[in-house]
Amino acid sequence: MMKQKPLVEDLELYAQDIVDTVREPLLMLDTTLRVRSANRAFYQTFQVSSEETENRLIYELGNGQWDIPALRTLLDDVIPTSSVFNDFELEHTFPIIGRRVMLLNGRKLRAGSHGELLVLAMEDVTARKRAEEALLKAGALQSAIFNSANFSSIATDDKGVIQIFNVGAERMLGYQAAGVIDKLTPANISDAGELIARAAALTAEFETPIRPGFEALVYKASRGIEDIYELTYIRADNTRFPALVSVTALRDAVGKVIGYLLIGTDNTARKQVEADQALLDQRLRDQQFYTRSLIESNIDALMMTDPQGIISDVNRQMMTLT
């Protein structure tokens, strides 16, 4: 019997050494939920010592940082009726390490002289959860863009054949998505003369032949150059409207172009404002010319002042007199 006790102690030390090699934090709890031991990863992760941890109730650890209602429910209600639980998600703000999302896994063990023990393993999945949340937000944003009626979002494959035609494109261009997907390219709904002119301009700029058509629409984007330009789109009923188009190359994980995204807005209103402003500017110039002609044609010497009496203009006759 005297030899058996050291043997048991040696086995326990051996088991602790194995536990310490586990990268995730581990706690060994007895049936009263007191900590019998913890591994090195637990001490490092939660920045506590063995003296602060062993032989204490789990709810007392770290000045009560583990006294969490959800954990109490798990350990007080679930554990007595089950010997195993997996992937119990616990989100909590710990005083030192901050907000964390942990996955808890538990197993009941019968461990020799210590009786029944509960092994509580913890996996920090905070980064993964944040990445999943960011992905969901990005997906929601992408969905909002693609489903917006205010933008035409047209995605193509690498050959230019339309693969996505959102509701904004349907409203703006008058086509149904089913009628263009796998059938047309954006060049088919663009002004042919403008494509020829754009191809010629790109050919001169890059000193390489650019074909009129889809290549002219995406040439800069295919080379990683930001490209936003004005283009005349042609609706299904053959009416036309000016659009402002932003083109982005879509790439796979290794950087190969797998398609293009063309986001367009109807530029009609802005073009009308510009036309109206140009007309007003011309009228103002005409009025100024007419007024000046009247002043200069007058045989009398004329002098104009501002409200403070400061001379602002004189005609030629006044200049002759002075």
Give the whole-angstrom CA distance, residue 287 versus residue 293.
10
In the chain, % helix, strand, coil (3-state, to 5) comes to 45, 30, 25
The 10s digit of each residue's pLDDT in 23-74 is 889 998 888 899 988 989 998 888 888 888 999 999 988 778 888 888 888 8
How far is 36 from 52, CA to CA, in rounded Å? 12
Residue written as tokens 């995730």? 24
Each residue's pLDDT tens digit, 115-166: 678 889 999 999 888 888 887 787 777 777 667 767 899 999 999 999 999 9
pLDDT at 151: 84
Between 5-14, 66-75, 157-166, 167-176, the lowest mean confidence (pLDDT) is in 5-14
Q: What is 28-44 written as a DSSP string?
A: EE-TT-BEEEE-HHHHH
* Three-state DSSP state, 205: helix
Shortest CA distance to 36 belongs to which of 94, 123, 120, 102?
Answer: 120
The answer to whether 249 touches 260, Cβ cutoff 8 Å, is yes
Provide CB contacts within 8 A for 222, sequence distance 6+.
Answer: 249, 257, 260
The yes-or-no verdict on residue 17 having pLDDT over 50 is: yes
| 298 vs 13, higher pLDDT | 298
pLDDT of 90 reads: 87
Same fold, 7-126 and 147-266: yes
Q: Is the pLDDT of residue 219 over 50?
A: yes
Confidence band of 304 (pLDDT split at 50, 70, 90): confident
**Pairwise CA distance, residues 200 & 224, whole Å:** 20
Query: Using one digit for the tens of pLDDT, what is the confidence trace for 233-260?
Result: 999 999 999 999 999 999 988 899 999 9
Which one of 3.40.50.300, 3.30.450.20, 2.40.170.20, 3.90.230.10 gives the CATH number of domain 147-266?
A: 3.30.450.20
pLDDT in tens, 62-117: 778 888 888 888 887 766 777 788 888 888 888 888 888 989 988 887 655 556 78
Domain ranges of the chain: 7-126, 147-266, 272-321
- Contact call for residues 317 and 297 (beta carbons, < 8 A): no
CATH 3.40.190.10 fits 7-126, yes or no: no
Write down the pLDDT at residue 19. Answer: 63
